[in-house]
């Protein structure tokens, strides 16, 4: 009887416990399923984030590529424009030469036509000279008669380099550009600061976006004009104060051979005189003769080009003063530098009567010689020394 009563009570109890256990197992299985789903969602969200980051990175790369190609298009545009202008100039020259040769080689029955062509050519040359005199201030009438003295200001930096003042500004700042390939300018408050032993600590460092090539750069009216390293003939105009590129150009015909045989790193030598910005280079087509180009320093437009009679062989440097090119020659092993070729763009100098002008009291070579029209002095870099030459001038003949 007691057993039957226990059985009566235990059976419902065990049934209840078993049911509860089943419910608990089902709940655990449900929780496990939900947990797995959450883990799966987290993994998918992580994959989604990774994909988004990849898409962002790809978009950045695409943007950089587009900007790079746009910059390349601007370069091509400038190159095409320059080449077209150069082509038009050469066509014009060729047309004049063809007209002239026709006037010389035609039969005697065309003598009157010959004379007309010659008169027309002479008239055009006279008009061209008038235009050049208007463009180049004809009142600039002095020429170099001698180099009076030299002052070695300091000896610092590499064998090749360039240093200068800005003749287009009133300040007395000194700029040092060390080496034939570099992208850092050192700016000093004045020449006394530059001469101090710890001068580099007091200099303002200006980093260029692209390095220069050679030593033929120049600073004028707050801008650095320089030949971009790695390019054939690209000239960059860089704002020193704002530290950005404001313009660039391609110089037709330049960059294929050195401007001076004894300074092979300099393919384009930029110069400043009383009339503004010039470029000096040599071309294979002229047999290595030096070519000079007048450039508008504001727009970087080519204003005129002259093929000179000065040879780049054994030349180490050159400078332009008052519309006149002075080419400096030396020996390959170094020696006394001398000026023995002069070219005046307005034919205001009788170059055949000019004696050879020797640089005083110094044996060696120059990698740069720049004329400062404001101070009427030469700023030179010779074997790591920064030198100033004082000049003696006279009236042009």
pLDDT over 80 (residue 100) = no
Residue 174, judged by CB atoms within 10 A of its CB (0-12, 13-18, 19+), counts as: buried
Model confidence pLDDT, tens digit, residues 63-95: 888 888 887 787 778 778 877 777 776 676 666
Q: Decide: 226 and 207 in contact? Cβ < 8 Å.
A: no
- Statement: residue 103 has pLDDT above 60: no
Q: What is the pLDDT of residue 338?
A: 95
pLDDT of residue 104: 47
Tell me the per-residue pLDDT of 120-166, one tens digit each, with 9 for 90 and over: 666 566 556 656 655 666 568 889 999 988 999 999 999 999 999 99
Please report the pLDDT score of residue 128 as a whole number.
62
Does this model's pTM top 0.75? My answer is no
The band of 21, judged by pLDDT with boundaries at 50, 70 and 90, is low
Q: pLDDT per residue over 313-360, tens digit each?
A: 999 999 999 999 999 999 998 889 999 999 999 888 877 778 899 998
Query: Residue 311 above 50 pLDDT?
Result: yes
Please compute the mean of the pLDDT values over residues 245-268 and round it to a whole number.
Answer: 96
Q: Cβ distance 177 to 385 under 8 Å? A: no
Beta strands in the chain (DSSP E): 142-155, 161-164, 174-178, 181-188, 204-213, 218-220, 223-227, 234-239, 244-250, 269-273, 276-282, 289-295, 302-311, 315-321, 324-329, 338-344, 357-358, 368-372, 377-382, 385-395
> What is the Cα–Cα distance from 381 to 176, expressed in whole angstroms?
10
What is the model's pLDDT at position 377?
A: 96
The residue-averaged pLDDT of 33-61 equals 84
Spatial separation of the C-alpha atoms in residues 248 and 75, rounded to whole Å: 9
Quick one: pLDDT band at residue 111, thresholds 50, 70, 90? very low
Note the pLDDT of residue 113.
Answer: 47
As a whole number, mean pLDDT of residues 96-106 equals 56
Compute the distance between CA of residue 299 and CA of residue 61 in angstroms, rounded to an integer: 33
Do 252 and 302 contact (CB within 8 A), yes or no? yes
Higher-scoring residue by pLDDT: 362, 90:
362
Q: Which of the pair, 16 or 108, is modelled with greater confidence?
A: 16
pLDDT recorded at residue 91? 76
Q: What is the pLDDT of residue 200?
A: 80
Residue 49 — pLDDT band, cuts 50, 70, 90?
Answer: confident
DSSP 327-396: EEE--TT-B--EEEEEEETTS-S-GGGPPPEEPSS--B--SEEEEETTTTEEEEEETTEEEEEEEEEEE-
- The pLDDT of residue 131 is 61
pLDDT score, position 110? 44
């Amino acid at each position: 009887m007691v057993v039957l009563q226990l059985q009566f009570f235990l059976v419902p109890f065990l049934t209840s416990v078993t049911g509860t256990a089943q419910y608990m197992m089902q709940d655990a299985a449900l929780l496990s399923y939900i947990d797995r789903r959450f883990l799966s969602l987290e993994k998918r969200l992580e994959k989604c984030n990774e994909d988004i980051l990849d898409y962002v990175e790809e978009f950045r790369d695409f943007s950089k590529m587009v900007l790079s190609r746009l910059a390349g298009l601007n370069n091509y545009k400038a190159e095409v424009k320059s080449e077209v202008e150069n082509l038009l100039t050469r066509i014009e020259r060729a047309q004049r030469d063809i007209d002239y040769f026709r006037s010389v080689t035609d039969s005697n029955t065309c003598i009157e036509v010959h004379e007309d062509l010659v008169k027309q050519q002479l008239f055009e040359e006279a008009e061209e000279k008038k235009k050049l005199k208007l463009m180049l201030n004809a009142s600039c009438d002095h020429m170099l008669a001698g180099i009076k003295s030299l002052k070695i200001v300091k000896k610092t930096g590499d064998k090749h380099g360039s240093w200068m003042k800005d003749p287009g500004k009133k300040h007395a700042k000194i700029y040092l550009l060390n080496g034939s390939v570099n992208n850092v300018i050192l700016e000093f408050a004045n020449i006394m600061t530059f001469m101090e032993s710890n001068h580099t600590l007091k200099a303002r460092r200006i980093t260029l976006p692209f390095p220069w090539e050679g030593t033929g750069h120049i600073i004028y009216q707050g801008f650095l004009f320089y030949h971009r390293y790695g390019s054939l003939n690209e000239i960059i105009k860089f704002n020193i104060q704002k530290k950005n590129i404001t313009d660039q150009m391609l110089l037709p015909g330049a960059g294929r051979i050195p401007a001076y045989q004894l300074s092979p790193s300099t393919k384009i030598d930029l110069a400043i005189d009383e009339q503004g910005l010039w470029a000096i280079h040599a071309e294979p087509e002229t047999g290595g003769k030096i070519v000079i180009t007048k450039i508008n320093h504001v727009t970087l437009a080519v204003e005129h080009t002259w093929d000179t009679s000065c040879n780049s062989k054994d030349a180490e440097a050159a400078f332009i003063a008052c519309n006149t090119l002075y080419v400096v020659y030396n020996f390959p092993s170094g020696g006394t530098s001398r000026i023995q070729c002069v070219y005046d763009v307005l034919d205001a100098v009788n170059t055949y009567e000019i004696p050879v002008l020797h640089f005083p009291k110094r044996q060696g070579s120059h990698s740069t010689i720049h004329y400062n029209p404001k101070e009427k002095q030469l700023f030179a870099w010779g074997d790591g020394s920064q030198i100033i030459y004082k000049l003696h001038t006279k009236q042009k003949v």
